């Protein structure tokens, strides 16, 4: 057991994109365990786009510890249901060690042939978000044409692969570089993809889907949402998962979408969702996905950065689009 744990805290509210100076690293004594708690050594930490919102909205308190999904190994336990050595997922991230209550963790037993990191990515909230967005919110039908923004990100890439298995006819994705576009079409087998920096999103989507789309999985908002509304056929559906285009400018009203009247004229259904309200879908999702991960039908798309000291750089890299798939920080060997 380590006598101290290293913790990253938010030191300042960012004005625009976050900087390394907005964070601080402190060493704290590991608290004594009380009944119903466990000491966990974190193995993987997740850094995610939604965390940028928490820096502004008060989800993270200045001077307080940060939160985020993590995988760790139990080093000491005060509860017989979680023995030493058990692997758990919890939300006490951005630190080397955590002391959560047993009620705050979920024990995992990785399936043979599935790497541990998948349980913080495509088999955790990332993949579940894609599953819920497609099956419950957009209600994807076999034969639907689908557009996914930020498709080379963690949720977008998972959504594309799952949609193919659910019977989507054509899958189009947007990304932020030529390399990511190539990744979508060659590795993840999207039918078409475009770099949104290369022109107006409406024009780029029109060229990629000249006959329109049935479903839009929105991770971005802004001009790409406007483009999707324009491309959707009558009775099309939008599953709104995020609006990363606005995360650094939350105090400024977005210029787009400017065509919301089309939602009325085309009888579109536009629904946002938060995956934590759909955790009852986890069991059916895992039954669907685990066999396909084991046989290689679904690929594990991730960018792994080594070393706890690189947690903040990994987060900043993520916000600049420097990842493909899920962005993880590996603290120690599995």
The per-residue pLDDT for 166 is 98
The per-residue pLDDT for 3 is 76
Instruction: Count how many residues are written for the chain.
Output: 334
The per-residue pLDDT for 245 is 63
Q: Which residues pair with 171 in a beta bridge?
A: 146
The per-residue pLDDT for 244 is 74
The per-residue pLDDT for 16 is 87
> In the structure encoding, which two tokens stand for residue 189, read together?
């087998």
First vs last C-alpha separation in the chain = 17
- Rounded to 5 degrees, φ, ψ at 306 are -95, 140
204-238, pLDDT tens digit by residue? 999 999 999 999 999 999 999 999 999 999 999 99
What does pTM read for this prediction?
A: 0.90
Query: What is the average per-residue pLDDT within 154-174?
Result: 98
Concatenating the DSSP letter of every residue in 31-94 gives: PPP-TTBEEEEEEEEE--THHHHHHHHTSS-TTSBP---EEEEEEEESSTTS-TT-EEEES--S
232-279, pLDDT tens digit by residue? 999 999 999 988 766 655 556 666 799 999 999 999 999 999 999 999
Quick one: pLDDT band at residue 66, thresholds 50, 70, 90? confident
The mean pLDDT value of the chain amounts to 93
> How many CA atoms are closer than 13 Å to the CA of 80, on its beta-carbon side?
0
Domain ranges of the chain: 4-121+300-330, 125-276
The per-residue pLDDT for 333 is 66
Instruction: Note the CATH number of domain 125-276.
Output: 3.40.50.720
CATH 3.90.1150.10 fits 4-121+300-330, yes or no: no
182-202, pLDDT tens digit by residue? 999 999 999 999 999 999 999
Least confident residue range of 26-30, 132-136, 175-179: 26-30
pLDDT exceeds cutoff 80 at 291: yes
Neighbouring residues of 285: CB distance < 8 A, sequence distance ≥ 6: 127, 128, 131, 132
98-157, pLDDT tens digit by residue? 999 999 999 999 999 999 999 999 999 999 999 999 999 999 999 999 999 999 999 999
Query: What is the average per-residue pLDDT within 45-67?
Result: 80
The per-residue pLDDT for 250 is 53
The per-residue pLDDT for 187 is 96
Quick one: pLDDT band at residue 53, thresholds 50, 70, 90? confident
């Amino acid at each position: 057991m380590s006598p101290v744990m290293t913790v990253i805290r938010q030191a300042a509210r960012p004005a625009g994109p976050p900087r390394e100076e907005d964070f601080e690293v402190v060493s704290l004594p590991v608290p004594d365990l009380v009944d119903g708690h466990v000491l966990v050594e974190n193995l993987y930490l997740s850094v995610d786009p939604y965390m940028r919102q928490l820096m502004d909205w008060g989800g993270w308190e200045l001077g307080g510890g940060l939160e985020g999904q993590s995988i760790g190994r139990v080093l000491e336990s005060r509860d017989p249901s979680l023995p030493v050595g058990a692997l758990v997922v919890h939300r006490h991230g951005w630190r080397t060690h955590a002391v959560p209550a047993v009620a705050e963790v979920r024990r995992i037993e990785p399936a043979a042939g599935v790497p541990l990191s998948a349980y913080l990515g495509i088999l955790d909230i990332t993949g579940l978000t894609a599953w819920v967005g497609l099956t419950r919110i957009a209600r994807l039908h076999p034969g639907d044409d689908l557009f996914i923004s930020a498709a080379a990100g963690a949720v977008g890439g998972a959504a594309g692969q799952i949609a193919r298995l659910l019977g989507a006819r054509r899958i189009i994705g947007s990304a932020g570089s030529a390399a990511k576009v190539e990744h979508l079409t060659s590795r993840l087998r999207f039918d078409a993809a475009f770099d949104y920096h290369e022109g107006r999103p409406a024009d780029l989507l029109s060229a990629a889907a000249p006959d329109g789309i049935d479903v839009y999985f929105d991770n971005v908002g802004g001009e790409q949402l406007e483009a999707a509304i324009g491309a959707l056929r009558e009775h099309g559906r939008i599953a709104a998962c995020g609006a990363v285009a606005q995360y650094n400018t939350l105090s400024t009203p977005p210029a787009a979408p400017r065509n919301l009247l089309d939602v009325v004229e085309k009888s579109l259904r536009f629904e946002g969702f938060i995956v934590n309200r759909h955790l009852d879908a986890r069991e059916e999702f895992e039954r669907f996905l685990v066999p396909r991960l084991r046989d290689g039908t679904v690929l594990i798309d991730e960018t792994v950065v080594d070393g706890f000291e690189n947690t903040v750089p990994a987060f900043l890299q993520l916000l600049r689009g420097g990842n493909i798939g899920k962005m993880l920080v590996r603290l120690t060997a599995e």
